[in-house]
Structure 1
């Protein structure tokens, strides 16, 4: 006669053989015979979690803990399940309970650190990783995650050291790749930029030579080379080398949707187009894409929005309403691409590639006959399954096609249809004194070391002006930039006020209150410039060598207002000085911006230009 232990054993054997259905059936039979066994309920919870039945898994974990509230392993596994369901705060609580019962569990400390990192509490995550290492000095994942946290905070030397420790202990491919891609988020100098780019290429060459094979880039790597685009250099060769490595080392990335084997018919009633991103909510990407998605004529297009985000806000609701179909994709590369393939799209339109890993790795698949990307992250991808990069003739320099692995499409206007922000016209007296207020509201990783010399001259020449920057996402970023400024500017750096992080309303008031906005060279403002010009606030810009440093120039060209476009660094300093010293000129310039800014907002010609491109791209197959 089969007893409860037999069913329990058979369930575990089925689970080990990846037979989740059979394992669940056996475990449920065991529970039916003896529902007071905490260990059986806990194991059933683990199996249900692995099978994706999270609600049922939670029931079993809770039942197990009622029977035995002192088992640290159950709290640990419950934390894993809650983390996978996105309930990070609750998961953190379960790990805390597990650690209180077993402080020597390195994996619990490590996973707790991972949750804290997801919650943007990176400094606390580092403490957790240190405790994991104290519990087990040979626990390689803690060193790897420690390095990732240090990299996020800009401590490249610490990250380099801990990636090396992880590689020495386990030698896994993911740690080697992350070590190779390591770049400073706030560079100390141009020399440091060149040093780490050279390091990246050398390590990539070694990875290519070693003929490595791995299966899951999301879990094993889980990052992109985001910081590369901020160096002000041609990234095409490096981007192509990185993509070539992934294509070679991770065969699972290559996937072709069956419907792509035949050419789409232009005679069909509607073109099926899908827009994909992880940022289709109140984010720059969502704001840049909304009106294009909404504006494509439904008589000609069947529009789908494919979102990797579970954030629900005002903008995600707008995008849901704008789309004919809004699909929330799972954080599983294989399931996501099967879902997209099933839609049998004619065109797959990436709003951005390179900010986060999901869409970057997804782009290695052929999921539509035409696949294109636009300027959400304004740098070439290097990926051979991306056919087109959609940009603008207003922003691209001569010979720009040489900087892209994709075929460059230069529309007549900026490729995004943007609505003017709903500013209420209020300024904020507490943000300024009686002096001209000069603001640079860009993210701190946009501050190229070459900008320091320009800022130093502006500070030197405009002693009565007030200068405000916005602090970084992490205090460590602000500290790194302040340290660099002190070295490159001396005492002049003391005049720069780092404004604490602002909410949406406070940010709008700052933009409207400012007399002058400073644009960052090499990687300039995008949505920031749209917003500043909407507030009639002049943006002084120095166009760079690549599109990512020329967006503000493109907007000014569209407005036919070039007063604040500098020819070189000296001219940039001079324009700022003239505006700081001459209030009449500032007022005149605001009036000029006010009278022409309508040319950059709600530009319906963008939709027509995109439609023309879509139809031509399909015809060219």
Structure 2
């Protein structure tokens, strides 16, 4: 999960400083002429010459208030806010109440972080001059810095009511609205600024940020490029363009853009940080780590950099180091939700983590982020048997495990009994997205939408049951659920453990994944579906299975296409034992991280240390999905890792005709494949000990006739089973939804239960 990109948007600044062109108390014409020259130099940017002249004036007339003011403005312009505040305070003491001086004193005090005093200065300026638009805009900046966004917006609007052509106020209003997630209003403000000044590069840049958050990526790219056409050295725009390339899953374009930013500002930490992230996307892990360490050497406590460094360590399979780094992030920034999620996800990969430890980490997340129950009263219609409104929330409505495991469910939902809403948290659209859109009744984008606004949207839709499909994975919106936008809330499909949130009422699982008595490891009530918790929709482009490769090669090839983070020391040792027990056999591992030479070398060394010589191990990197599926034709038997087994990966192996040997443990992530195998009548591929795991794998390897039969029958078996039959699977999920709803209707708390199997679409409801 890489959800903490540092965005370098243009920063709001103070309104224009003002200097009178005539001295308030000149002693003679020479001083007046000198002051006029100083103002001219200040306005043309010749600050040193302006300062020299002002000091010359003070030698002649020490109490010249405008010269003191001018020196304060000059000091502010070079970042010396302390000196600026002193000079401007002197000017006010000498001249009395002058609105511009009070406003500029506010700018200096704001620069010193003295927000209360700055706000008082701006308010004094406004009291002296009610139509002082600059002071209202500057007041808005200070209020925003003080964490008062609504007051800041009101102040900008007052400035614009006085001066509708005030470009900076339009831009600052846009910035404030953008921070609140009010994207359409922010875009409108930037558009007004650009109508007044088409060459405002910062407005083009920030409009691009708004459009990107809105999911309008092409328009965002055009805005960034307009900013760069005006100012080719605009580093923020180059960084933001790189961020957009990453959003489009184009790390090559992102790297180019970040490097262009660094050519302009070699020490820009935002550019180094985001470059590191893009290098990680390219599996250039060594370079990525080097860039993160460059950033951390200068900002040792930057939580986002520690988090993303941990992501790279995880992609390398270095789980202990990754977990240590995530813990450091949480210590630095306890409210960093993404780091909590990354830690929880990585704990599921790691061996030696107990269910008790998983639960404790999840509860820590819940304790940090669950909102205090406020006795929310919902007005949802409680009529018996009415059509329920189901809302699915995910950032993965695309070619992703969630997309492949949801499509047939959406298509099979009983539209007479359920109205389906999908809340999409991703700008990515592909053929799976289009399929899901067609299957849903309503499609809503929540990309860039604040949790508060998404909550309001869901309440307007009158959702009865809101279903999280992400858990602690990328693009999760779990914090939205803490706002309790729906009366019943559940988590299903995209995660394999407890969320830790009291605001999630139910976790949808099955008997294989969560056996009876294991509910104690979950903060949610556990609902068990009778046919498993997945319904797989294989892609139409999946090639037909081919004969087991051992028939031609004369030796058996085992394989795993699982994430390298799942392949720990215990897995390597056991897989080496499988190879040693199967003379002449080979092992093929495939995952995108194997595109990295360092990862290949590390895993190669680990297998050699376990007794597997180089020629018996093949490591392959990324391939497009269709090509990856075809490469199952290069293995005879799939090996499931542990303690985190395959989900979609096991479904794909079975669909391509490769039986999967699995070793389930006591945590849900290790028990995903067992459910598939039981449904398909392959319970003999389920081991209950490491020794039995080796026996399962070697027994399959020794039975070439069975391998051939399975290769050409597994797809037919899957098609006929609830694993791929949405018409059989979906009613069980709908029954579970009805039971959840009935408990809420009756005022009963959430409680674990077993959902019914095949039966009526609309089971009788309790009164």
Q: Aligned partners of 2:478 and 2:565: how far apart in 1?
A: 20
| 2:592–2:622 Cα contact (<8 Å) kept | yes
Q: Tell me which residue corresponds to 1:487.
A: 606
| 1:76–1:98 Cα contact (<8 Å) kept | no
Q: Aligned partners of 2:173 and 2:716: how far apart in 1?
A: 67
Q: Aligned partners of 2:389 and 2:195: how far apart in 1?
A: 48
Residue among 520, 539, 562 paired with 1:442: 562
| 2:157–2:173 Cα contact (<8 Å) kept | no
SS in 1 for 2:498: coil
Q: Aligned partners of 1:423 and 1:116: how far apart in 2?
A: 27
Q: Tell me which residue corresponds to 1:510.
A: 631
Cα separation, partners in 2 of 1:257 and 1:392, compared to 1, 3 Å:
same
* Structure 2 unaligned blocks of 5 or more: 1-17, 19-130, 142-151, 749-767
Q: Aligned partners of 1:567 and 1:612: how far apart in 2?
A: 32
Cα separation, partners in 2 of 1:247 and 1:507, compared to 1, 3 Å:
same
SS in 2 for 1:410: strand
Cα separation, partners in 2 of 1:401 and 1:120, compared to 1, 3 Å:
same
SS in 2 for 1:390: strand
Cα drift, residue 378 of structure 1: 1.0
SS in 1 for 2:314: coil
* Structure 1 unaligned blocks of 5 or more: 32-38
Residue among 664, 667, 680 paired with 1:559: 680
Aligned residues: 588
Matches within 5 A, 1:97-136: 100-101=232-233, 105=235, 107=236, 110-111=239-240, 114-120=243-249
| 2:275–2:291 Cα contact (<8 Å) kept | yes
Cα drift, residue 110 of structure 1: 4.8
Q: Which of structures 1 and 2 has the bigger CA Rg? A: 2
| 1:518–1:540 Cα contact (<8 Å) kept | yes
| 1:75–1:98 Cα contact (<8 Å) kept | no
Structure 1 residue 410 corresponds to structure 2 residue 528 = yes
Q: Aligned partners of 1:48 and 1:363: how far apart in 2?
A: 23
| 2:388–2:419 Cα contact (<8 Å) kept | yes
Q: Aligned partners of 1:502 and 1:179: how far apart in 2?
A: 24
Q: Aligned partners of 1:333 and 1:166: how far apart in 2?
A: 33
Cα drift, residue 203 of structure 1: 7.0
Cα drift, residue 199 of structure 1: 6.7
Residue among 635, 649, 667 paired with 1:528: 649
Cα separation, partners in 2 of 1:546 and 1:162, compared to 1, 3 Å:
farther
Q: Tell me which residue corresponds to 2:729.
A: 606
Q: Aligned partners of 1:594 and 1:42: how far apart in 2?
A: 58
- Cα deviation code 1:374-412 (max 9, x no counterpart): 232212111121111111112334542232221222222
Moved more, 86-95 or 358-367: 86-95
SS in 1 for 2:641: coil
Residue among 541, 555, 574 paired with 1:454: 574
- Cα deviation code 1:499-536 (max 9, x no counterpart): 34222332332235642222222222222322332333
Cα separation, partners in 2 of 1:357 and 1:508, compared to 1, 3 Å:
closer
SS in 1 for 2:650: helix
- Cα deviation code 1:156-198 (max 9, x no counterpart): 9768856754654xx57x5498489878314666xx63x6546
SS in 1 for 2:477: helix
Q: Tell me which residue corresponds to 1:343.
A: 461
Cα drift, residue 86 of structure 1: 2.7
Two-structure CA RMSD over aligned residues (Å): 4.6
| 2:258–2:275 Cα contact (<8 Å) kept | yes
Q: Tell me which residue corresponds to 1:34.
A: none
Q: Tell me which residue corresponds to 1:587.
A: 708
Q: Tell me which residue corresponds to 1:287.
A: 404
- Cα deviation code 1:312-343 (max 9, x no counterpart): 33322332232222222232222112211222
Q: Aligned partners of 2:173 and 2:153: how far apart in 1?
A: 14
Q: Tell me which residue corresponds to 1:36.
A: none
Q: Aligned partners of 1:362 and 1:442: how far apart in 2?
A: 31
Q: Aligned partners of 2:631 and 2:447: how far apart in 1?
A: 38
| 2:468–2:478 Cα contact (<8 Å) kept | no
Q: Aligned partners of 1:449 and 1:65: how far apart in 2?
A: 61
Q: Aligned partners of 1:612 and 1:43: how far apart in 2?
A: 51
Cα separation, partners in 2 of 1:603 and 1:72, compared to 1, 3 Å:
closer
Matches within 5 A, 1:562-573: 562-573=683-694
| 2:404–2:536 Cα contact (<8 Å) kept | yes
| 2:549–2:633 Cα contact (<8 Å) kept | no
| 2:512–2:674 Cα contact (<8 Å) kept | yes
SS in 2 for 1:337: helix
Cα separation, partners in 2 of 1:487 and 1:594, compared to 1, 3 Å:
closer
Output the TM-score relative to the length of structure 1: 0.77
Q: Aligned partners of 1:80 and 1:287: how far apart in 2?
A: 31
| 1:276–1:305 Cα contact (<8 Å) kept | yes
Matches within 5 A, 1:157-556: 161=293, 164-165=296-297, 168=300, 175=304, 178=307, 184-186=313-315, 193=320, 197=323, 204=330, 225-232=344-351, 233-234=353-354, 237-238=357-358, 240-241=360-361, 244=364, 247-248=367-368, 258-260=376-378, 265=382, 267=384, 269-331=386-448, 332-397=450-515, 399-419=517-537, 421-422=539-540, 426=544, 434-435=553-554, 436-462=556-582, 464-472=584-592, 475-476=595-596, 479-490=598-609, 492-512=613-633, 514-556=635-677
Cα drift, residue 459 of structure 1: 4.1
Matches within 5 A, 1:15-164: 16=141, 17-19=152-154, 21=157, 29=165, 52-53=183-184, 73=202, 76-77=205-206, 80-81=209-210, 83-84=212-213, 85-87=216-218, 90=222, 93=225, 100-101=232-233, 105=235, 107=236, 110-111=239-240, 114-120=243-249, 141=270, 145=274, 161=293, 164=296
Cα drift, residue 368 of structure 1: 2.0
Q: Aligned partners of 1:257 and 1:138: how far apart in 2?
A: 51
SS in 2 for 1:401: helix
Q: Aligned partners of 2:406 and 2:374: how far apart in 1?
A: 26
Cα separation, partners in 2 of 1:460 and 1:371, compared to 1, 3 Å:
same
- Cα deviation code 1:29-54 (max 9, x no counterpart): 468xxxxxxx9998898789776347
SS in 2 for 1:413: coil
| 1:388–1:406 Cα contact (<8 Å) kept | yes
| 1:389–1:407 Cα contact (<8 Å) kept | yes
Cα separation, partners in 2 of 1:57 and 1:571, compared to 1, 3 Å:
same
| 2:394–2:475 Cα contact (<8 Å) kept | no
| 1:511–1:537 Cα contact (<8 Å) kept | yes
Cα separation, partners in 2 of 1:159 and 1:457, compared to 1, 3 Å:
farther
Cα drift, residue 593 of structure 1: 3.6
